[in-house]
Structure 1
Amino acid sequence: MKKFFAYNWQVRDEWFKWCQQLTSSQLLKEMGGGAGSILYTLFHIVEVENSWIRGIQGKEDMVYSFDDYATLDKVVSLSNRLKQDHKHFIDCELLQLNEKMIQVPWETNAYTCDDIIHHIIVHEIHHIGQLSIWARRLDLSPIPAHFVGRELSH
Structure 2
Amino acid sequence: MNVFFQYNWQVRDEWFDWCQQLSDAELVKQRTGGMGNILHTLLHIIDVEHSWIQAIQGKDDKELNFNDFTSLHQVKSLSDSKRNEVEAFLKHDNLPDDHPVTPSWIANTFRKDEVLKHIIAHEIHHVGQLSIWARELDLKPISANLIGRGLYQ
1:61 maps to 61
Q: Return the offset for 1:104.
A: 0.9
- The Cα shift of 1:92 comes to 2.1
Output the aligned Cα RMSD.
1.4
Corresponding residue number in structure 2 for 1:71? 71
Aligned to 2:95: 96
Counterpart amino acid of 1:108?
A
- In structure 2, stretches of 5+ residues that fail to align are none
Q: Distance in 2 between matches of 1:87 and 1:114?
A: 16
Q: Deviation of residue 91 (structure 1)?
A: 1.7
Matched with 1:142 is: 141
1:37 matched to 2:34? The reply is: no
Does residue 7 of structure 1 match 2:7? yes
Match of 2:51 in 1: 51
Paired residue for 1:124? 123
After the TM superposition, which segments of 4 or more aligned residues of structure 1 sit over 2 Å from their partners? none
Q: CA deviation at 1:106?
A: 0.8
Question: What is the CA-CA distance between 1:101 and the residue it aligns to?
Answer: 1.1
**CA–CA distance in structure 2, aligned partners of residues 40 and 68 of structure 1:** 11
How far off its partner does 1:87 sit?
0.8
In structure 1, list runs of 5 or more residues that go unmatched: none
Question: Partner amino acid for 2:71?
Answer: T
1:111 counterpart residue number: 110
* 2:141 maps to amino acid: P
TM-score of the aligned structures, taking structure 1 as reference length: 0.96
Of all paired residues, the percent bearing the same amino acid is 49
1: CA distance, partners of 2:25 / 2:16: 15
TM-score by length of 2: 0.96
Deviation at 1:63, TM superposition (A): 1.1
